[in-house]
Structure 1
């Protein structure tokens, strides 16, 4: 048996973008892998014959991270196979016959495309990046050329100008005045016509069955992005756009039949940003807006099961056969559901784990990329009775794995489930160090799915234990609501859980414990070291230290902190400072490793710098590691060598202070 090594994920395959072909004879999907030599990822499209269940590489350009099926069954994907050095904003689309062969360049769109939907042989609806400032600069440069005025030096790359919030975004960089604009593209004439204005962000573009109408979500703003959006419908022939619904935060929208639209939305009035959405039907003709499930409906309608072995996405919501299919998180797993326009709801699978993306046939057969048992991602045929694995890109049978054990505990009269992974060399007569792992969010969950980082620690002689404290997903709106209580009831849940683990597992050395976590887990790590000395080491990643700077400096801060801490710097600064781990840094004694990324605008580097400086000022051992060119997703999709270095930093820190 092989142990899980620090770089074991170099051998893993990451699956995504599962798509059932129109003739329902094949599955297309992407398979990604690490290339350590190039310190990057490679992405290829695969094809599975559903009769033989055999898969093979369909494209081999190593850059095909997503695709769409055209009306004739051809596969269309964006790439740059010529490795063009042209820095102009454009997207090249290649086309490949469904039977295989060589992909050929089909057309080029003069913008960075987010979404493309085919109307007919030549026309496409497109959502593409647009920036008002950059467009004006282009026009100005062109006019100077016409006037024969030479610019000796183009200084436009020497500065950044912010005129709105948010002006940057995690994983996308500086975004000031960027919008996802709606266009009509004709590949025969190369016409690229805008159909929306230049201040509106558009997303979730869908076409009706006969391709005469399009539905999408729109967010118009100048100065400050609002949290409420609109549902708009486009008549493709006349180009007329009409607003169908507004004043809600819409997450998804699609045609469920020729006259009705199904949408997922929330008004955020009862539980704020983390309020679970509900399902509504909008009638195109009457514009009626009707909730189709009762007030007891308390689902999140997305997958929030954490792991570090996903890379690309795929369909998590789909309308087909008069139903909306969606993934929902319950307790520690992500299941598949369907609902019709009358509100009849049905869960479609029973086995725990994680449905990551899926597609559905005309007769209701479900195919899903999933994490099941101790396996990595693979494809399954799913029914309510069984889940049959039909692809074998990953095999964990040769690895020495730590089984995830459940432990029940109670706090404040509430029952919780915790999870414990024993060291793989476990001997009940020995003592082992342990690591409390805190998830991000906080509205996400830990479950029993494969987690490389945790298995690596267990393979190297550590207990790893984790749970879902109040604030987590999977147990309804009230359980997830910790607004104004950060660091209080959630911290108490985690400490009670740690007590329960120590009591049940006498081989766990309570004098050699560490705490670690990222994002909200980084906040909680920072909070814990200022409120207890029970941990002998800590690792705080992509964390929050100061609620005021998090509010004013990060991409979601101005609305997330306002909502979650229930205050702003101007209406109750004392409360904001009370919930800031930095306030308690003078009490910390725990040696702490801080890990941040310089392009993480969700929890920006200054958060880690503040805590690091505070600990050093008070003579507490601390180390700050800042990764260049990485963002909030370092541990999940960062460059392969950076992911290895990150895990080495954590392991070395724990080895030094716990062993």
Structure 2
């Protein structure tokens, strides 16, 4: 059977399987299935149930909303989840025997997260509270108000995806009695809390909070162990960096959590920590592994992938994800510090849960040509059985290209890793254009995972080269840190060396038809490349940085990101300008298409406007497309119609010039 080529619209045929959650009886589980709803131009995520003995699948919810965070009560009779059924994420309870879900919260800003109390009669939750108010206060009636000024008095006042942050509003922890629906607020004050974990005996809680008055130059969220009855607090960790994902061991004597200190700012590897409640001793179990704990993959197909940071088994083994050499693998650690991979290579484990006995795990798995399904895996043997096959017919119908892993010498003779895809329908002896894709971050990574955009370019007759240059995660601490202070240096050399390497080894590539594209840091690097080399015949820059001087003041992270990454602030404008692609605009001869979201607060659209007007004024070949009602995450979670339009712009530009 001749397979058809992948299309832009096929994005709507991809089914995302995420958040596998085992029931307490270990005989059944639930997961979330997400699809694009073209009719409403939205995503719909519904709850599915699987019987692990019969493998029977049952869809439990059928709405157009997005459901997330499914969690069983300890006795397995109830399932709680968050749903956008009424716009904001609210908490719902569903009997596992069937029936309609019951809504148990109605907060103006919704509920951020929740945890069951072990008794099954209460649920702890996290939600926003206005200053001077309480969870129990009646919500104010919504009245049409005249526009009011927004008084800015701190530097962290806006956030990509959220816009201007609500003033005088704080995140607090509350508890709701499911029988009486009575709510009690547990935390107080003008602070932002995060609910982390509840002990199995229901007596202890872990939350994170930073109680400093001015947090503009503070990058920490300390972890505290709290006695629920007395509210007495004990510090678990209080230092610069980010720590969370806490889980109690089954006997409540230890905590596991993940975190990274500030040694290399946001390039620091995340580690797995264990804290002994009795002695207060803290150890890093992953100290001997030179790779980061967690999932750092950039892709565009897994919607709502939200894996636990750690999962304990009853025999005190701890499971976690590790990003290494383009894989995300499930690893297991013992308290003695032994470390083993529980899954194989060449794949992306983007969700998991582990049986209490440690005998088996549920894993959601993707690779370069498989979109992602749910499997049950026997830990001892590695044997797997598929529980879902939502994408199977699509994968049989469409020609998908298997990338070839490559390794080459980059700057300073460091080994650099990546992949090369031949065009779909490749014919020996023919010449093909090549497009270089550059990921964002820069502390993220391309991986052995399904990426619709890369497959689309291959389907349109292009070879595709994508690598993890220095600065990427999944490799050593030295490697991920090497980009800081050197943007446009060794990273640029790595990418150009990759092009030289594949040209030398693959005579099917037409060296006169090379294209380059990337977003965020990848957009910065696209801008940098065309300002320093004329070997590319077409380029598309997306959500990019063009001017570090203005980025400092307009980005939601600029005032500290510049210093962390470029090594300069406004006292060293010359260094910021030297690393700015805009400085080299006069050298750009490559036709450059500029794509940018209007609500991007991470790399604000003025970065694109400056570049476009400068190039136009210099009579350069350029185009500019603005995406309304879209933020920095347009390519991953933006409105479906805008995602299609973005891909049309990219492929249209390359078709015109390559």
Q: Give the TM-score normalised by the residue count of structure 1.
A: 0.91
Give 1:168's match in structure 2, choosing from 158, 165, 182: 158
Deviates more, 1:105-114 or 1:158-167: 105-114
Q: Aligned with 1:607: secondary structure? A: helix
Counterpart residue number, 2:79: 75
Deviations 1:10-49 (A, max 9, x none): 1110111110111111120110111111111111101111
Distance 1:168 1:368 in 2: 36
**Deviation of the 1:592 alpha carbon:** 1.0
SS in 2 for 1:466: strand
User: Deviation of residue 80 (structure 1)?
Assistant: 5.6
- Is the alpha carbon distance of 1:309 and 1:221 closer, same or farther for their aligned partners in structure 2, counting shifts above 3 Å? same
1:309-336 Cα distance to aligned partner (Å, 9 max, x none): 1110222423322232111111111001
Question: How far apart, in 1, do the equivalents of 2:144 and 2:407 lie?
Answer: 67
Indicate conservation of the 8 Å contact 2:434/2:513, yes or no. yes
**What's the counterpart of residue 620 of structure 1?**
620
Report matched runs for 1:379-458 at 5 Å. 379-382=374-377, 383=379, 385-395=382-392, 396-411=395-410, 412-458=412-458
- Report matched runs for 1:216-615 at 5 Å: 216-225=207-216, 226-252=218-244, 253-256=246-249, 257-269=251-263, 271-294=264-287, 296-321=288-313, 322-364=316-358, 365-372=360-367, 374-382=369-377, 383=379, 385-395=382-392, 396-411=395-410, 412-481=412-481, 482-570=483-571, 572-615=572-615
What secondary structure, in the 3-state scheme, does the structure 2 residue paired with 1:327 have? strand
RMSD: 2.5
Change (3 A) 1:92 1:436: closer
Tell me by how many angstroms 1:110 deviates.
6.0
**Structure 1 stretches of 5 or more lacking a match?**
85-89, 146-150
In structure 1, how many angstroms separate the alpha carbons of the residues matched to 2:603 and 2:212? 24
CA contact (8 A) 2:257 2:310 kept: no
Could you tell me whether the CA contact under 8 Å between 1:250 and 1:263 is conserved in 2? Answer: no
Tell me the alpha carbon deviations over residues 469-509 of structure 1, each in whole angstroms, 9 at most, x when there is no partner. 11111111001112101110000010011111122222211
- 1:397 aligned counterpart, secondary structure: helix
Instruction: Name structure 2 gaps, 5 residues minimum.
Output: none
1:196 counterpart residue number: 187
**Residue 148 of structure 1 aligns with which residue?**
none
Q: Is the Cα–Cα contact under 8 Å of residues 91 and 111 in structure 2 kept in the other structure?
A: no
Q: 1:99 to 1:2 in 2, by over 3 A?
A: farther
Q: CA deviation at 1:91?
A: 5.6
CA distance in 2, matches of 1:192, 1:552: 42
C-alpha contact 1:292 1:343 (8 A) present in aligned 2: yes
Encode CA deviations 1:505-528: one digit per residue, 9 max, x unaligned: 222111111110011101100111
Cα offset for 1:359?
0.3
Pair 385,258 (structure 1): closer, same or farther in 2 beyond 3 Å: closer
Mean alpha-carbon deviation: is it higher for 426-435 or for 11-20?
A: 426-435
Change (3 A) 1:277 1:318: closer
In 2, distance between residues paired with 1:51 and 1:152?
Answer: 53
Structure 2: how far apart are the matches of 1:592 and 1:628? Answer: 21
Distance 2:554 2:493 in 1: 29
Cα 1:350–1:577, aligned 2, differ >3 Å: closer, same or farther?
A: same
Looking at structure 2, the residues matched to 442 and 279 of structure 1 have their Cα atoms a distance apart, in angstroms, of 22
CA deviation profile, 1:260-286 (whole Å, cap 9, x unmatched): 2223233322x2221113333333344
Taking a change above 3 Å as real, the CA distance of residues 654 and 11 of structure 1, as seen in their structure-2 partners, is same
User: Does the CA-based 8 Å contact 2:20-2:31 persist in structure 1?
Assistant: yes
CA contact (8 A) 1:199 1:221 kept: no
Secondary structure of residue in 2 paired with 1:401? coil
Cα offset, 1:247, TM superposition: 1.2
In the alignment, the residues of structure 1 paired with residue 54 and residue 532 of structure 2 have an alpha-carbon distance, to the nearest angstrom, of: 59
Taking structure 2 as the reference length, the TM-score comes to: 0.92
Change (3 A) 1:391 1:112: same
Comparing 38-47 and 618-627, the one that deviates more: 618-627
Distance 1:454 1:430 in 2: 21
